Amino acid sequence: MIIKILTLFPAMFEGFLNESIIKRAIDKGNCKIEVIDIRSYSTDKHHHVDDTPCGGGAGMVLAVDVVHRAIRENQTKNSHILLMSPQGKPYSQKEAYRLSEYEELILICGHYEGFDERIREYVDEEISIGDYVLTGGELPSMVVCDSVVRLLNQTIKEESHQNDSFSYGLLEYPQYTRPIVYNGEKVPEVLLNGNHKKIEEFRKKESLRRTLLRRPDLLEKYSLSIEEEKLLKEIQEELT
């Protein structure tokens, strides 16, 4: 996969691209990530990329001609173009899986007061990572990039993301490691006895419990199996 990030602040991505799973994915050749400075597509001598809003108002607006030029000179026939915007489609794990199927993504980071409305004519979709406003699209683009890259083949073990929270509709079960006992708190015995059937049942039940207590809205949309219905009933009885 190729990911191109159009931004006014390319230095923000230096640490992001040189640490952890993202760096490993790049080194393995699973993906290529290019950070492109939108300012380099400005044509005036001062490299302006914005202007005051038509009709008046506070702040500065990202100019359509500069952004369109940056898109046009970097897109290919395989490009799927995303605009990071608080007005966009809510982002989710399901969306991450969908985006991971594209050969090439172009992520556009908005900034300042906003962007010229006509920029929307040149993108395929808008993505929002939450109902709040940030100073720019750099952090959202990192979120999208990270969530997509980790799903690419051989970046991490497939089983590692298959059990992630939201991957199959529920929150992930609790995880433990050594030391077995810490400050009087012990790892649940069922995880230590080697009975894989019991371990699977424990994890399924705890996944349901955690979802019920923390995100009951997810259960309303989740189709329970007969076994899960039984486990959920047990949990509800334990909580009463």
Question: Is 217 tagged catalytic?
Answer: no
Q: Sheet of 50-51: strands edge to edge?
A: 50-51, 61-62, 114-115
Distance CA 73, CA 76 (A): 9
216 is catalytic: no
Q: Are 84 and 119 in contact (CB under 8 A)?
A: no
What is the chain's length? 240
Active-site residue, selected from the candidate residues 164, 172, 201, 228 = 164
Neighbours of 169 (CB within 10 A): 16
- Other C-beta atoms within 10 Å of 11: how many? 10
> What single-letter DSSP state applies at residue 173?
P
Cis previous bond, 216, omega within 30: no
Residue 69 annotated in active site: no
**Side chain identity at 153, as an amino acid letter?**
N
Q: Cα 138–141–143 angle (5° rounding)?
A: 115
Query: 120 catalytic, yes or no?
Result: no
| Distance (Å, whole) CA 228 – CA 236 | 12
Instruction: Given the residues 140, 150, 206, 209, select the one marked as catalytic.
Output: 150
Query: One of 34, 37, 86, 120 is an active-site residue; which one?
Result: 86
Coil, helix or strand at residue 39: helix
Catalytic residue, from 65, 95, 113, 172: name it. Answer: 113
CB 112 within 8 A of CB 85: no
**Active-site positions?**
86, 113, 150, 164
